A and B are shown apart, each in its own frame.
Chain A
């Protein structure tokens, strides 16, 4: 047995949180608390990079697997990564330190508790992406509700209570059906171990209902139209760091779940329900893009654009082609970077002006030029300009969609155009135009930590835009294997 690297990744943030819990939260300790949290999350980040370095890209088998008896005769604690999950893992460990750096101004009260919540959240998110047992997955998936509820509720904006409740209850309602399905799988097959389930397969007569139960959970979390309504509320009211975590990582749990569980465990049901997913995805892309066009609140606009982007992701996953799924994963990674950066950008101006309304701003390009440049990079990445990571994902997804269903692809392409419209219009109204509001002249340009976080996000966005090879190499074999298994079980039906 080698060094349990995945368990260390899962546990480290919690240990850091425990350490913070026992340090007194006095004002002079604020800096120390932040450094402790930052140190923990950075160690975790470098550990995960080391993991990527060790990762063998030529096999689709799960690696770094740890298998321990947890509940005797019932559930094993089993974790492991393959090409699909490792990127999400690294995304999580990459975004968390940036969140911690960004809490400078947005969180003024109870900093200690806030950092604890973020670190605990990191534990759960990493757990979701590495667990190879359905019950362990469910455990981490649901447990994430607790810290997120508190992050929105304690440190959020004016309507935080409503948003926190909506977030919690929506997600819980979606998830309980998944629990029924997981227990049913246990009684049908006698195991909840994902690797064994991949080999055993699940009887086709059960698949449809089980698929729907999993879908109810993932659809809420993605979020897909029409159950997306919690997302704008949660995003708008959450503090900046909370929005970043939500957009960058929490939403990816569902996309990951679709690939890992819906496609992997229920292939024939996935085939049956592909039209449903296509319809909902296209509605999400066009409908929420149109809604985004009309938003006056910057955070809300980005929240709706997230729904549209996740529509592309679900569309890509259910094309069930190499390019489509690769595109979806890259789109998710890219969206993780870009939406995190956009929320941070909104956070920057919000900290200075205490307004998220677009009409407050205008013409600030001359006042804060550095900000304008970085904001532009992410705006262009969000609308999928070639040379940014957003382009690679969308392009691959649309290519796969054109092969599969022409109409769907055309409609989705329409969404790209609307997407460009609302992002550019947002940029124009905030950055360019006449400087009317005289308050804006007092704005200070990015400070060091803000510039650092945004640059950290800009580098991979551009790098993977020009050279997505490292990402594709990592995921390629696992996806090919997934699709082969899928085709085999659909054909043998």
Chain B
């Protein structure tokens, strides 16, 4: 037990959860306090992760079942910061629906803990444990607005389908264990026989389970309903944070034990990627609800991240990580706008509610305009660079078909982003929305918009950070 300090972030967060639970039970009206403490916990954990683990050599713990390296530390910091911002900007929303309760921050903390374990896992069982911890917390979060039928429906749907996918995933794990005799990624990579078809079956089942978690087509059916039904602040959480963790597991699982089987899984990833990009882009066209629309848009975006992973190269992994980072910033901006669409304590979430927004709220609409063009991948905004890196990695491997389909689906996707812009800028205005927003909400919108707009001035910084990720 030498390097125990390396999992200090996880230990700290677990102890905080327990402490906060006890505090919540014994102290009345403590929800605001717990909310603030949780914010602090997330921030402190991020700082610890940054200080303790970011710059060390890859180290394994607990019989190699946990790995701490640059990838895991980087992804953990992103997860923690994203969760921090979600918590920061969701308080007003929760208050409006009278669900500003102690459970909310604690559930977010527990799911973040689960994700951190997933990100660090180097073993199928540890990975599964983390996955279930985060999933259980997420089911509850989806139903958090339990007086609303849609929210309960979303939670139930998510629970049933997610449990199914966990079952598939477990079956895959057991197959791999059966044919290699170990659950540890490092051991598996030395043990398996490339001619064994059962291993391939195991990989397929696990990939299906993981694809479910990141809502890649054809395992995406739950996403639009769950995203629409859940409280908006939870939807924001869903669209970003669990995907980071699942994507890291994707990277770790495919590239550590099974890099030699790339011929087997590359086709699957290419299919998932193309299907997600195209389906997400086409299905979003008909949507009327912004949250449903962003669900399809996130399906499409995950397709691009998978395209980077399908390359089987370090550049591909790095481009996926860059893509997810930029995607998170864009998503934060988008949802900050969504959380600002409030009038007389009612939140509006139909696309038509944006009609003529530019006349009453010029700043809000110009931010949303920038975010939407960036989501569509139009230069010189950050979203373009995200796609650029992906396609650079994809074309390096001569996967031209994937690149061309991906770029064509950006044209399709541009259509529905343009439709929102059209409604904002070209249509007649409606009543104006409230203008006295939470300071943090304004700040998160401003910061994300400026980051998106100004990314082109300092594009090297993010690459420098990400280029230290070295899996192969």
Instruction: Report which A residues bind B (CB closer than 8 A).
Output: 69-72, 74, 135, 138-140, 142-143, 145-146, 149-150, 153-154, 160-161, 164-165, 168-169, 172-173, 176-177, 179-180, 183-184, 186-187
When distances are taken between beta carbons in the complex, the residues of chain B under 8 Å from A145 are 378
State in angstroms the CA–CA spacing of A177 and B403 once bound together: 9
Q: Is the CB of A172 within 8 A of B414?
A: yes
CA distance A186 to B403 in the complex (A): 15
- On B, residues with C-beta under 8 Å from A are 373, 378-380, 384, 388, 391-392, 395-396, 400, 403-404, 407-408, 410-411, 414-415, 418, 421-422, 425-426, 456, 459-460, 463-464
Q: Is A146 in contact with B378, judged by CB distance below 8 angstroms?
A: yes
User: Which residue from chain B places its CB closest to the CB of A139 in the assembled complex?
Assistant: B379
Contact of B411 among A146, A164, A169, A183 (CB under 8 A): A169
Chain B residue nearest to A213 in the complex (CB): B404
Contact of A164 among B396, B404, B422, B464 (CB under 8 A): B422
A169 touches B415 (CB 8 A): yes
Q: In the complex, what residues of B have CB within 8 A of residue A172's CB?
A: 378, 410-411, 414
Within 8 Å CB of A154, what residues of B?
425-426
Verify B426–A160 contact, CB threshold 8 A: yes
B366 closest partner in A (C-beta): A21
Identity of the chain A residue whose Cβ is nearest the Cβ of B409 in the assembled complex = A176
Q: How far in angstroms is the closest Cβ of chain A from B375? A: 13
B425–A146 touching, CB < 8 Å? no
Chain A residue numbers with a CB within 8 Å of B414 are 168-169, 172
Which chain A residues lie closer than 8 Å to B463 at the CB level? Answer: 71-72, 74
Min distance, Cβ A395 to any Cβ of chain B, angstroms:
39
A173: B residues at CB distance < 8 A = 408, 411
Which of A161, A168, A180 lies in contact with B400, CB distance below 8 A?
A: A180
| A-B pairs with beta carbons under 8 A, tally | 82
B380, B426, B456: the one within 8 Å of A153 (CB): B426
Of A74, A150, A169, A176, most buried by chain B (CB within 10 Å of CB) is A176
The docked-state distance in angstroms from the alpha carbon of A25 to that of B170 is 61
**Interface contact B408-A142, CB-CB below 8 Å:** no
5 new A-B contacts, CB < 8 A, other than A176-B408, A184-B400, are A145-B378, A150-B425, A154-B426, A179-B391, A184-B395
10 sampled A-B residue pairs with Cβ under 8 A? A140-B379, A140-B380, A142-B378, A142-B384, A143-B380, A149-B418, A153-B426, A161-B422, A165-B418, A179-B388
Instruction: Write out the residue numbers on chain A whose beta carbons fall within 8 Å of the beta carbon of B421.
Output: 149, 153
Given known A142-B378, A168-B418, A176-B410, contact A70–B391 (CB-CB < 8 A): no
Q: How far is the CA of A199 from the CA of B53 in the complex (A)?
A: 47
Contact B459 A70 (CB under 8 A): yes
* Shortest beta-carbon distance from B122 to chain A in Å: 31
Chain A residues with CB under 8 Å of B404's CB are 177, 180
Residue contact B410 to A180, C-beta cutoff 8 Å: no
Give the secondary structure class of A's interface. helix
The 4 lowest CB-CB distance pairs between A and B, nearest first, are A176-B407, A139-B379, A72-B460, A183-B395
Residues of B within 8 A of A140 (CB): 379-380
A161 to B423, CA, bound (A): 10
Is there contact, CB below 8 Å, between A142 and B460? no
Assess whether B418 is in contact with A139, with CB atoms less than 8 Å apart.
no
- The residue among B400, B404, B407 with the most chain A CB atoms within 10 A of its own CB is B407
In the assembled complex, which residues on chain A have CB atoms less than 8 Å from the CB atom of B425?
150, 153-154
B460 to chain A, nearest CB (A): 4
The answer to whether A177 and B373 touch across the interface, beta carbons within 8 angstroms, is: no
The chain B residue with its CB closest to the CB of A187 is: B396
Q: B411 — which chain A residues lie within 8 A by C-beta?
A: 169, 172-173, 176
Given A153-B422, A183-B392, A183-B395, verify A143-B378 contact (CB < 8 Å): yes
Task: Find out whether the CB atom of B403 lies under 8 angstroms from the CB atom of A142.
Answer: no
Q: Check if A71 sits within 8 Å of B418, measured CB to CB.
A: no
Distance from B416 Cβ to chain A, minimum over Cβ atoms (Å):
11
Q: Which residues from B are CB-within-8-Å of A143?
A: 378-380
In chain B, what residue has the closest Cβ to A69? Answer: B460
Partner of B460, one of A71, A139, A168, A177: A71
Which residues from chain A contact B400 at a C-beta distance below 8 Å?
Answer: 180, 184
- Closest chain A CB from B401 CB (angstroms): 11
Residues of A within 8 A of B407 (CB): 176-177, 179-180
Q: In the assembly, what is the distance between CA of A186 and CA of B315, in Å?
A: 15
Contact A146 B418 (CB under 8 A): no
Q: How far is the CA of A150 from the CA of B365 in the complex (A)?
A: 13
Find chain B residues with CB under 8 A from A186 CB. 392
In the assembled complex, which residues on chain A have CB atoms less than 8 Å from the CB atom of B395? 180, 183-184, 187
The complex places the Cα of A72 from the Cα of B464 at a distance, in Å, of 9
CA distance A71 to B322 in the complex (A): 14
Determine the chain B residues whose CB is within 8 A of the CB of A179 once the complex forms.
388, 391, 407
Q: How far is the CB of B398 from chain A (nearest CB, A)?
A: 8
Complex Cα–Cα for A71 and B385 (A): 11
Nearest residue in A to B394 (C-beta to C-beta)? A183
Q: Could you tell me if A183 and B391 are in contact, using CB atoms closer than 8 angstroms?
A: yes
Complex: A154 Cα to B358 Cα, angstroms? 11
User: Cβ of A187: which chain B residues have Cβ within 8 Å of it?
Assistant: 395-396
Residues of A within 8 A of B426 (CB): 153-154, 160-161, 164
Q: Which residues of the other chain, B, contact A69 by a CB distance below 8 angstroms?
A: 460
Cα–Cα distance between A160 and B422 once the two chains are bound (Å) = 10
A145's nearest neighbour on chain B, judged by CB, is: B378
Cα–Cα distance between A203 and B384 once the two chains are bound (Å): 28
Query: A142–B379 contact, CB under 8 A?
Result: yes
Residues of A within 8 A of B459 (CB): 70-71
Min distance, Cβ A485 to any Cβ of chain B, angstroms: 27
The residue that A180 contacts in the complex, of B378, B391, B418, B456, with Cβ under 8 A, is B391
| Nearest chain A CB to B96 CB, angstrom units | 31
- The docked-state distance in angstroms from the alpha carbon of A146 to that of B410 is 15
Which residues of A have CB within 8 Å of B379? 138-140, 142-143
The distance from the CB of B49 to the nearest CB of chain A, in whole angstroms, is 26
Report the bound CA distance from A72 to B465 in whole Å: 12
A160 to B418, CA, bound (A): 13
Contacts A172-B414, A176-B408 hold; do A139 and B380 have CB atoms under 8 A apart? yes
**Which chain A residue has the least Cβ–Cβ distance from B404?**
A180
The CA-CA distance from A160 to B421 in the complex, in Å, is 13
Q: Nearest Cβ in chain B — how far from A160, in angstroms?
A: 7
CA distance A69 to B464 in the complex (A): 14
Contacts of A150 in B (CB 8 A): 425
Give the distance in Å from the alpha carbon of A135 to the alpha carbon of B391 in the complex: 13
Report Cα–Cα, A150/B366, bound state, in Å. Answer: 11
Residue on A nearest B370 in the bound complex, by CB: A146
What's the Cα separation between A179 and B395 when bound, in Å? Answer: 11
- Please give the distance in Å from A202's CB to the nearest CB on chain B: 15
Which residues of chain A are within 8 angstroms of B410 by Cβ–Cβ distance?
172, 176
Report how far A150 CA is from B425 CA in the complex, Å. Answer: 8
**CB closest residue in chain A, given B403:** A180
Bound together, the chains give a CA A161 to CA B456 distance in angstroms of 29
Identify the closest chain B residue to A72 (Cβ).
B460
Taken together as a complex, chains A and B put the C-alpha atoms of A176 and B412 apart, in Å, by 12
B415: which A residues are within 8 A, CB to CB?
Answer: 165, 169
